[in-house]
Structure 1
Amino acid sequence: MEEKEWLILNYILPKKPSRVRVSIWRKLKKHNSVNIGHAMWVLPLTEENIELFKEISNEIFQNNGEAYIMKSSFIDEKSTNSIIETFNKVRDND
């Protein structure tokens, strides 16, 4: 199996104002990020996606939040296939 690398953005934002949380969520959805947990989003590792996550993390920091961008790979093939399948569904729905 070829190992695929991913970017993961995990963040924490204050509950208020909620408009910030909605803005971040919309940007992540607009760029077809996949949510894999509470405030944990995944995109394939590309320079374009690195810049996107940096931009979003800057917005999070500017609004008194914390953001963590990680490069990762999944340990098992089942997880990798599941994420790829989810990306394909999101893309097909657009």
Structure 2
Amino acid sequence: MHPITWLLLTYKVPAEPSAKRLALWRRLKSLGAVYLQNGVCLLPKTDEHVRRLKVLEHDIATMQGDCVLLETVALDPTQEDKVIARFKADRNDQYQELLRRCQDFEAEIAKEIAIQKFTYAELDEEETDLKKLELWYEKIRKLDFYDAPLAVTAQERLQDCKARLDHYAQMVYDAHDENR
């Protein structure tokens, strides 16, 4: 088995303005990078990641900063496993937050049923909220390079949310048929 190849980015940017430093951090996190320490992060080596990091290299230079971009592999399987575990932990944190939002979504549906608020406007709002959850899941999944353990749970929970929404939708339709 071939070792996994990563891109290692080390950078240093001026402390001020902090908004630029924070924007850089957000951009790296949005790519799925894991930080080994401040200013040192890793991404799996892909053509897309190489392109995106080259753009960031230019951006860092315009911030009066400095960076080095390297291709690297782990020294041994144990080190490789440690790095993969960091990627999985980051994604699990994101899936965990998604699961909390799914719980909120389910509670909202239960509340609407309890108060018998069977309106098309409410149904539309709940459908929009579910779509946001689904898009968020897809965004996390795209960054889940090593199949974090909570991925399956999150997918199943989203299916549960969809089923609850479908049940609520049927109640809305039934309520409107009774009012005619």
Which TM-score applies when normalising by structure 1? 0.91
Aligned residues: 94
Provide the C-alpha distance between the structure 1 equivalents of 2:91 and 2:18, rounded to a whole number of angstroms: 27
Q: How does 1:33-48 map to 2 (within 5 A)?
A: 33-48=33-48
Larger-Rg structure: 2
**1:30-65 Cα distance to aligned partner (Å, 9 max, x none):** 111000122001000110000111111111001100
Runs of 4+ in 1 over 6 A off after TM superposition: none
Q: Is residue 11 of structure 2 the alignment partner of residue 23 of structure 1?
A: no
The one-letter code of the counterpart of 2:89 is K
**Structure 2, unaligned stretches of length 5 or more?**
95-139, 141-180
Provide the C-alpha distance between the structure 1 equivalents of 2:65 and 2:83, rounded to a whole number of angstroms: 27
Provide the C-alpha distance between the structure 2 equivalents of 1:91 and 1:49, rounded to a whole number of angstroms: 17
Structure 1 vs Structure 2: percent identity of aligned residues? Answer: 27
Structure showing the higher helix proportion among its residues: 2
Provide the C-alpha distance between the structure 1 equivalents of 2:90 and 2:38, rounded to a whole number of angstroms: 19
Which TM-score applies when normalising by structure 2? 0.50
Q: Is residue 42 of structure 2 the alignment partner of residue 49 of structure 1?
A: no
Provide the C-alpha distance between the structure 2 equivalents of 1:15 and 1:35, rounded to a whole number of angstroms: 18
Provide the C-alpha distance between the structure 1 equivalents of 2:55 and 2:89, rounded to a whole number of angstroms: 25
Provide the C-alpha distance between the structure 2 equivalents of 1:56 and 1:21, rounded to a whole number of angstroms: 12
**Structure 1, unaligned stretches of length 5 or more?**
none
